[in-house]
Amino acid sequence: MSEVHTDVAIIGGGPVGLSAAAMLGHLGISCVLHEQNETTSFHPRGHVVNTRTMEIFRGLGVAAAVDEVSLPLERHAGIGFVTSLAGDEIGVIETRGNPEWARIERQQSAVFKRSCPQDVLEPVLRQQAEACDSVETRFGHRITGIEQDATGVTLGWETTGGATGQTRAKYLIAADGPRSFARDSVGIGMKGRSIGQQIGVYFHADLWSLVEKRPYLLYWIYNATTSGVLISLDGRTRWTYNFGYGETESREDFTQERCLDILRAVIGDPSIPIEIKNVMPWRMQARIADTMSSGRVFMAGDAAHPLPPTGGQGMNTGVADVQNLVWKLNLVLRGSAPESLLDTYDIERRPVATFNVEQSARNAEAMVKKGLSGMLANESELLSNLEGPEGAANRAKLAEGIPEQRAHFDYPGQTFGYHYASALITPDGTALPDFSVTEYRPTARPGHRAPHLPLGNDPDTSLLDTFDIGHFTLLAGPDGQDWADTAISAAQAFDVPLKAYRVGAELDTDVDAWTRQYGVSAQGAVLVRPDGHVAWRSPGPGRDTDLTDALAHAIARTETPVSA
């Protein structure tokens, strides 16, 4: 039996586990990732990479590679509701192509929300992680036991070839999916419900003749044979179709032959050849763990919060989980912060995850309410008479409910507008701004994501590029040199990595835009955490001790630092 020692062990080689490994590798922290499958996912599964996740990937240097394997932006113009690809269009929700929406999207970030199927995303993340000297990935390793004590966690594992061994780590990140072995091993319960049973069919078919002029990301299908969602993976030949089935049927009923018949009804043109690559049954869940940590074990992604795909929040919530956790692990491992800093992981992330689970369930229920159930089993008689001239009235009835579904597909407020409210955040006395899923209102109020602004006149650059998971950032106005000096001095005393910049001086950013968006004057400043969330804000000049105390709070140390 072999034994491996590392700082952090990871269970799960999906997008969340691989993102965690890439982040740890970016910081030079030793980690070993265990994944029971021999390789990354073959089935496309999830595909939405929201803008905030793309910002995180940009910080890791992997955003350009994700762009390359994503659905082209020009094939991402909207969400179509149709009787079949060859049939009638019931309605559409535009998500790109509108000049005003494009302007707003560009104001929010230097990157774009992408559709990047899991089977092509995971290899990109794996390559990024494995390029780091401190990262080791072990695919084909099934975890057989988890034990923790006062100094670490011991994992027992077995390879597909029958070899056994142990990994000893100081901390464990469990990203091993909704049926998490780790979660059960440490006794963490779950609350929530199962929403329904689904079948996902991954197939190849050249559908260009039917989609060339309707470049939609999703096509919601409604006809007498089937209702579900067709997902465009490359804009032409790679597709998945997901649909629900009722309690009177089982997954075994959906043979390749039956799935072929369903796909023919989806396409609406029986002459087009179809090659089914995989049929995957799955269950739509809306659950949240009772806690996201237990001792030295931290749950992330679906292991902590399996949520409905209605809104595409699953992987994105998980990536934000590990971003929140990894910077804290970094400071604890380097001795700059006490272990109590890690207690804030559950405090900060579980409310965000809970909202995303509930909002995703609301999205699914809103579709059902308007007869647009899609991925849930649909017994509606309405669907039996939708096609052709005689179905026009029924199509019009369905179309009435489509505009109300925008929160399902276009949600910048949910992407950027959430905030943290733990002891790490120093309040500034300002009121919590109104929250909307579909509208983002930039704010640098402590706890919120620091807003994006371009550097100079280049829209492809961002003030966010000055942030990094490895250090705090002090942004001061052009007259805020005193704040910068104080931040550097306090960080040295605490042994905390920090970089300080003056907007309009070291940073070529429009000062008026910055003071307006960040809610400060030319003499003000904000302290930004390694995860890009604001820890403290001063609208103008103030006491040095205010910033020093805020940095102490941000790393769970409240004592005044003593200079060497």
Token duo for residue 241: 């179709």
Mean pLDDT for the stretch of residues 115-120:
97
List helix spans (H) across 383-480: 392-399, 406-409, 412-416
pLDDT tens per residue, range 47-102: 999 999 999 999 999 999 999 999 999 998 899 999 999 999 999 998 887 777 78
Per 3-state DSSP, what percentage of the chain is helix, strand, and coil (rounded to 5)?
35, 25, 40
Please check whether residue 22 is in contact with residue 128, taking contact to mean a CB–CB distance below 8 angstroms: yes
**In the predicted model, is pLDDT for residue 353 greater than 80?**
yes
Mean pLDDT for the stretch of residues 250-278:
95
pLDDT tens per residue, range 188-229: 999 999 888 899 999 999 999 999 999 999 999 999 899 999
Please check whether residue 8 is in contact with residue 29, taking contact to mean a CB–CB distance below 8 angstroms: yes
CATH topology of domain 417-554: Glutaredoxin (3.40.30)
Token duo for residue 30: 């030793």
Mean pLDDT for the stretch of residues 451-459:
92
Token duo for residue 59: 């910080």
563 confidence band (pLDDT: 50, 70, 90): very low
Please check whether residue 220 is in contact with residue 399, taking contact to mean a CB–CB distance below 8 angstroms: no
CATH topology of domain 2-60+114-188+291-362: FAD/NAD(P)-binding domain (3.50.50)
34: number of CA atoms within 13 Å, CB side? 32
Name the DSSP letter for residue 253.
G
**In the predicted model, is pLDDT for residue 304 greater than 70?**
yes
Please check whether residue 217 is in contact with residue 76, taking contact to mean a CB–CB distance below 8 angstroms: yes
1 confidence band (pLDDT: 50, 70, 90): low
* CA distances to 316, 379, 381, 535 from 473, in Å: 24, 55, 58, 10
560 confidence band (pLDDT: 50, 70, 90): low
Q: Phi-psi region for residue 388, left (φ > 0), alpha (ψ -120 to 50) or beta?
A: left
- Residue scoring higher pLDDT (249 or 468): 468
What is the rounded CA–CA span in Å between residue 22 and residue 56? 11
**In the predicted model, is pLDDT for residue 561 greater than 70?**
no
378 confidence band (pLDDT: 50, 70, 90): low
- Enter the pTM of the model: 0.96
Residue 413, phi then psi, degrees to nearest 5:
-65, -40
pLDDT tens per residue, range 469-506: 999 999 999 999 999 999 999 999 999 999 999 999 99
Question: What residues contact residue 314 under an 8 Å CB cut-off, 6+ apart?
Answer: 46, 301, 302, 306, 307, 360
The structural domains of the chain, with segments of one domain joined by +, span 2-60+114-188+291-362, 417-554
In the block, residue with structure tokens 């939609």: 216
Q: Which of 125, 127, 188, 142 lies closest to 37 in space, CA to CA?
A: 142
